[in-house]
Homo-oligomer: A and B are copies of this chain.
């Protein structure tokens, strides 16, 4: 028994049985400890962005934490971007970061770096275990922190000597219950209930209210009060499709976002941050609501959303009200040449019930996504932090959390290039994931945004930085290189056939849709 094994036992004893791992040499004793506990599910990612993206979406689907295993500060750096997305998603996860043995940190060895510095720039909770006897307790505290406040980033740094030092006992530590969540006062609930009945009132929900029972409750409140039900542009997880209570996601671009809120008299937040534009632009506001529209923080994202909505439903008399629901609208399969709208139609027609849709289609999504809103019921995961390269890792996490559900990834080619290593993990784990890459051969969102800042035409340097051409990427070859079967579709018949095969079959596959 040593510190590493006491940590593995603590993880397992407290329900953390999945680790997205990219180990290095300083984690050898932890690897040995994992090896002696085959009940721990270790998922190898060939790049650390796969570990953090995997644990993020695992939490979004399971509402419980997984671990990541990272190698010193550079390993944490590679995980950072998807940790940022996880933080913005409100996901809880436990990073376990190996470090040099404590006595070795006196010297300028190659891998010595500022792990605490980088960790604290994205984690809610960071601790360096001081000795082997503390590791189990620190691990339990990390799990508690990751589960607190509806989900937090917890990082436990494990110097090698705290892992390898023998322990006389080494029993697992028990994770204390997470601290109770705050909830609004009765007076705040009552005021919100009154407000929501006013003309033009909106209820904006987030977090766990975007799907499942809390979403139902929000739908009842909206139907009873007449308030509009809103959610943010980029959401961690949204229940969509037939039967879901109707909701209006705010648009990405600034003018339609302002337009969407133009007639709004008040916005009451339940589990959501206030709406804000994605970026600022010269002469354009950061806040999209009308000047005379108050924004009320009824329930912050880290507060008790379920209880808040239950109280609000009672206060509005909505407990028995039937929500307005989305009606099923399955379009006919499109044929002929490729358009993004047709691709969306095909996906909407074929998406199986209970699928998990990881949507990183960015600019293509403006055209692809609308038809899917009335498809069969499904969950959609979105890019919460705006850092691209989350959807391939995220689909690994979602498929690991929900092995019985079909996972579909919709991604731009630019985004997919950041973390394409996750294709290999899909194949290794035999995950049931269908990946659609919208190959528009560039960063279309940047082409659009350059026009947004007033540049009318662009030259060689902008072209060099926006176009991913000369050479073109070959996604079928990239998929095969990672061990995933791939298909290129340049017309709609080919696409619908490949997509149908993907969602009706088993295991991972990739479709490159050649975009016009």
Q: Which residues of A contact B (CB under 8 A)?
A: 21, 23-26, 28-29, 31-32, 34-38, 40, 42-44, 46-47, 49, 72-81, 83-85, 88, 100-101, 103-104, 106-111, 113-114, 117-118, 120-122, 160-161, 164, 234, 273-274, 276-280, 282, 286-287, 383-387, 389, 414, 417-418, 420-421, 424, 427-428, 445-446, 449-450, 452-453, 455, 458-462, 464-465, 468, 470-483
Query: A46 to B107, alpha carbons, bound, how many Å?
Result: 35
Contact present for A113 and B121 (CB under 8 Å): yes
Smallest CB separation, A288 vs chain B (Å): 11
Query: A121 to B115, alpha carbons, bound, how many Å?
Result: 8
Interface residue from B101, B280, B417, B458 paired with A280 (Cβ < 8 Å):
B101
Contact present for A42 and B464 (CB under 8 Å): yes
Closest-by-CB residue of B relative to A39 is B461
Q: Which of A79, A84, A480 has the most CB of B within 10 A?
A: A84
| Known contacts A46-B414, A481-B478: A461-B279 contact under CB 8 Å | no
Residues of B contacting A47 with CB < 8 Å?
389, 417-418
Smallest CB separation, A206 vs chain B (Å): 11
Residues of B contacting A26 with CB < 8 Å?
279
Residues of B contacting A427 with CB < 8 Å?
470-471
| Known contacts A421-B417, A481-B474: A28-B280 contact under CB 8 Å | no
Query: A164 to B449, alpha carbons, bound, how many Å?
Result: 14
Query: A80 to B79, alpha carbons, bound, how many Å?
Result: 10
Counted per complex, copies of this chain come to 2
Contact present for B279 and A160 (CB under 8 Å): yes
| Known contacts A37-B461, A74-B84: A100-B279 contact under CB 8 Å | yes
| Known contacts A32-B453, A276-B108: A445-B121 contact under CB 8 Å | no
Smallest CB separation, A320 vs chain B (Å): 35
Contact present for A483 and B472 (CB under 8 Å): yes
Query: A417 to B118, alpha carbons, bound, how many Å?
Result: 23
| Known contacts A446-B28, A471-B483, A474-B483: A109-B459 contact under CB 8 Å | no
Contact present for A161 and B118 (CB under 8 Å): no
Residues of B contacting A282 with CB < 8 Å?
161, 164
Q: List 26 A-B contacts (CB under 8 A).
A: A21-B465, A28-B452, A31-B450, A31-B465, A35-B462, A36-B459, A43-B464, A46-B414, A72-B387, A73-B122, A75-B387, A77-B81, A77-B84, A77-B387, A80-B118, A88-B110, A104-B280, A107-B274, A110-B383, A110-B386, A111-B385, A113-B121, A114-B122, A418-B421, A428-B471, A478-B481
